[in-house]
Amino acid sequence: MANATHDVARESLEDQERLLIDQAIAKNGNQPGALLGILETVQSANAHKFLSMEALRYIAEETGVPPARVYSAATFFALFNLEPQGDNVICVCRGTACHTRGSRDLLDKLCLDLGVGDHEADENSEADKMALTTPDRRFTIRTVACFGQCALAPVVEVNHHILSHVNERTLQREVKSLTQGRK
C-alpha cells in the first residue's frame, strides 16, 4: 500500500517539482531543521507560494519522515501555505495594540474593497489565522497575531514591506498602486 501512495505522489507531481524536491532534500540532508528547509525551498519555488498535498506526500516518502509529521510542520508554522496565494499578500496585524488602534476596521474595509468572502462569519474564531484570496489570485489577505511592532500600530505588511500607523486612506493607496501594476 505504501508503494501505491508513493506512486500516486510521484505521478501527480511534475518532473520539475520532483527534481526541485529531490535537490532540496539533498541540500538539507540530515541536518537539524532539514524538514523546514525543504518545505521552505519547495514553497518558495512554487508560482503560487504554497505546498501542495502531493508535494508533502512526496517529501514524506523521499525523506522517510512520517506524513503526519510533514503535514504537522507545514500547518504549525505560519510561514507555510497549503492553499495558493495571491500575487500580492497583505497581512493585517490583529495584536492588541493594533486592534485597539483600528486594525479590525482596516481588515473589514480591505476585504470589502477587494470583494473577498464574508469573513465576519469567523468573527469569534481565531482572527490571527485568516487567509482569503481573491478569485483572480491577485491578492491574498492574511492576518497575524502580532508583528511585534506595537509602537507603530496599526501595522500592515504589504508584500513583505511593513507599513506603520496605517489608516484606511494609506491602505487604499497601497492597494490602488498594486492594482495598477506596481508590486
Q: Based on the domain organization, do 71 and 96 belong to the same domain? A: no
- Residues 12-24 have a mean pLDDT of 90
Whether residue 82 is contained in a domain is answered as no
The DSSP letter of residue 58 is H
Select from 112, 93, 115 the least CA-distant residue to 104: 93
Task: Give how far Cα 5 sits from Cα of 15, 41, 50, Å.
Answer: 17, 23, 21
pLDDT digits 0-9 by tens, 35-69: 999 999 999 999 889 999 999 999 999 999 999 99
Say how many domains are in the chain. 2
Q: Based on the domain organization, do 93 and 63 belong to the same domain? A: no
Whether residue 63 is contained in a domain is answered as yes
Domain boundary among the residues 76, 100, 117 is at: 76
Angle ∠(107,160,91) on CA atoms, nearest 5? 15
The DSSP letter of residue 138 is S
pLDDT digits 0-9 by tens, 80-109: 999 999 999 999 999 999 999 999 999 999
Owning domain of residue 45: 2-76
The pLDDT, as a whole number, for residue 180 is 87
CA distance 117 to 83: 16
